[in-house]
Structure 1
Amino acid sequence: MELPPCPPSLKSIQHFLKLAQEHDTRDVVIAYWARLYALQVGLKASTQTGEETKLLLGIMDWLEQMKKQYAENEAITNEVAAQAHIENYALKLFLYADKQDREENFGKNVVKAFYSSGVLYDILQTFGELSEEALHNRKYAKWKAAYIHNCLKNGETPIPGPLPDDDDEAELEGENANASADTSPEDAAGAAAPAPYQPEPDAQPPAPSYPTASGVVPPTAEEVLNNPNKLPSPPVDEEKPGGFVPYVPTAQPNPATAATIYQPIVPVAGVQITPDQMITAQKYCKYAGSALNYDDVKTAIENLQKALKLLSTGSE
């Protein structure tokens, strides 16, 4: 189904539509929610011209068609599964771009990966307010895309990672809201750079250092989007006040304690599960299903264990 062209008056949704188009044959879940978010933003921004109405009605028709065609795909019909799928995808793309950046593998592929990750975090607003981690990742990804792009355009060598004198609370001017992944992101080289998300002390072990890949050609952004297995495995989600933060194990568990970790959980008599706890358990199950889509058995087990413990004991 070919959609009408995007009029200049709805430029604010152009990058969401472009991301959707890129994923039509790669990941229909991403394409669906990108267009749904574009529709939501477009309806608010519309001045009800003929071109705008034609496009927005076309998106509505497309969404209805996809919802019928993929009625058995929970990541399209169920918001909890959809949120887990998009969060997992956005984080994988962000980690890929950050890894390439820290290894000084600068190029258009890294710019596109950072920027696409930022757009995906925008789309996650469909499901409510973003977590602290997601807000930091979105801001950092968009800034980094613009910064590397401008450095390459000006013949300068980008500084890998956050700048030494960054300011986590600085508000970026021009967060590339109207740019697409294939066009020049707005110039943000002079803006203060936010650092990647850092959880509260003792909230998680330090993130693992990435090995250098000297002599190894990194995968392109196209290869990454076509083959999620080229991305690092998604971290396990640990809950903390304000949202979920990524937990990345720094070492393999001790065999002596592994049996304790995976012992069967015996239900406590008289445990009452609240509606909120039931929703949380469903979310863990959806995270596990999403992890299995990427052949990440360890993450699936971790999340299923959390769901089982919550349902059996009434506590996390």
Structure 2
Amino acid sequence: MSVVLPPVPSALKSIQPLLKIASEHDKRNPVISYWCRLHALQTGLKIDKKSKESVTLLTALMDWLEKEKKAKRDNEAISNDVVAQAHIEDHALKLFMWADGEDRAERFNKNVVKSFFTAAILFDILTTFGEINEEVAHHRKYAKWKATYIHNCLKNGEIPLPGPAGNEDLGYGNEDFTQSNPNFESQPTTLTMSNHLPQNSYSDQPYPTTPSGPSSLPTSLVPPPAGISPSSGVHAPPSTPSGSSQPSPTSSSTYIPPVASSGVVLKPEHFHKAQKYCKWAGSALQYEDVATAISNLQKALTLLTTGQDE
């Protein structure tokens, strides 16, 4: 069932992309819809909560969120911050990787723009749970740039260049890029699908299927902003890193924890963090970002040899 909300006033135009993405996911992924509208509410309250038109929309959003949370209270991706963050990040990464694959294969079209655009907004929504990590920040910046760059190329009848641009004139990796493109950081809220791109040019096909459960559980969280509490505050237990052996409570053998070359006993969280560094290094290599890849690999090596996290 489609959600009917009051019109978006001009003062809250910046939250329109969030509401549009929410409506696109109402049937395919209600969890994404919930968090998009929650982020829209939180953003709208910061912009304008005095004008009649804004109050009407924000109140309707608040009512919908309260009803949706009660109706889906058994869905951990709505009631549990840890599961929710993992769900959103997983969905955003799938959109991002699909768009990146199409871009590198030089299959440029508006669905690629849409996927980069949507992924960037979902990465923005992750800030609801606290400061985003280095990997997410990198993906978000790249997705914003790619959505803008490919869109402008298609609009101007130009053929985009695939992959990252490094320090070329296209701007990614150039410190002066945001100065020459002042709308870069806010692009997902200014490059709206309804205002800049033909709505009927998009299909539902490019969205990859997102599994019902998250593949990993991020652990860096802070309480969400005041107002509507999006979670019950119940957090999942720390996940066990894949590939590491855990002693069975019924096993008769004695578990001997691994020891680093420095003599420091390595704990499961050391391996979990090292895996993250390696994962971030792999992601950086996909964008040919050698410096970031080397930095993360060095952090993983330091952690596994000294037990110290930089």
Smaller-chain TM-score bracket: 0.5 to 0.7
2:193 is aligned to 181
Deviation at 1:179, TM superposition (A): 2.7
SS for the counterpart of 1:17 is: helix
Instruction: Report the residue type matching 2:205 in the other structure.
Output: E
Instruction: Report the residue type matching 1:54 in the other structure.
Output: T
SS for the counterpart of 2:164 is: coil
SS for the counterpart of 2:114 is: helix
Tell me the distance in 2 between the aligned counterparts of 1:237 and 1:104. 33
2:103 is aligned to 101
1:70 is aligned to 72
1:205 is aligned to none
Whether the aligned pair in 2 keeps the contact of 1:113 and 1:221 (CA below 8 Å) is no
Whether the aligned pair in 1 keeps the contact of 2:12 and 2:44 (CA below 8 Å) is yes
2:41 is aligned to 39
Instruction: Report the residue type matching 1:101 in the other structure.
Output: D
1:222 is aligned to 204
Deviation at 1:266, TM superposition (A): 3.9
Give the 3 Å change call, closer, same or farther, for CA 80–162 of structure 1 in structure 2: same
Deviation at 1:51, TM superposition (A): 0.5
2:146 is aligned to 144
1:168 is aligned to 173
Tell me the distance in 2 between the aligned counterparts of 1:239 and 1:63. 25
Tell me the distance in 1 between the aligned counterparts of 2:67 and 2:131. 28
Whether the aligned pair in 2 keeps the contact of 1:87 and 1:124 (CA below 8 Å) is yes
Deviation at 1:142, TM superposition (A): 1.0
Whether the aligned pair in 2 keeps the contact of 1:100 and 1:110 (CA below 8 Å) is yes
Deviation at 1:102, TM superposition (A): 0.2
Give the 3 Å change call, closer, same or farther, for CA 21–236 of structure 1 in structure 2: closer
Give the 3 Å change call, closer, same or farther, for CA 3–13 of structure 1 in structure 2: same
CA RMSD of aligned residues (A): 3.4
Tell me the distance in 2 between the aligned counterparts of 1:51 and 1:226. 36
Q: Tell me the TM-score normalised to structure 1 length.
A: 0.62
Q: Tell me the TM-score normalised to structure 2 length.
A: 0.63
* Structure 2: gaps (5+ residues): 221-242, 258-268, 277-310
Q: Percent identical across equivalent pairs?
A: 47
Deviation at 1:139, TM superposition (A): 1.1
Tell me the distance in 1 between the aligned counterparts of 2:217 and 2:247. 20
Deviation at 1:135, TM superposition (A): 1.0
SS for the counterpart of 1:224 is: coil
Tell me the distance in 2 between the aligned counterparts of 1:105 and 1:115. 16
Deviation at 1:180, TM superposition (A): 1.9
After superposition, give the CA deviation of every residue in 1:136-180 in whole Å (9 maximum; x if it has no partner). 111110111111111111111100011142553635321313232
Give the 3 Å change call, closer, same or farther, for CA 47–66 of structure 1 in structure 2: closer
SS for the counterpart of 1:225 is: coil
Tell me the distance in 2 between the aligned counterparts of 1:112 and 1:19. 10
Q: What number of residue pairs does the alignment pair up?
A: 219
Give the 3 Å change call, closer, same or farther, for CA 18–262 of structure 1 in structure 2: same
After superposition, give the CA deviation of every residue in 1:280-299 in whole Å (9 maximum; x if it has no partner). 9xxx9xxxxxxxxxxxxxxx
Tell me the distance in 2 between the aligned counterparts of 1:222 and 1:125. 26
2:8 is aligned to 6
1:258-273 matches, within 5 Å, as: 261=243, 265-266=247-248
1:22 is aligned to 24
1:128 is aligned to 130
Tell me the distance in 2 between the aligned counterparts of 1:71 and 1:237. 19
Deviation at 1:62, TM superposition (A): 0.4
Deviation at 1:123, TM superposition (A): 0.8
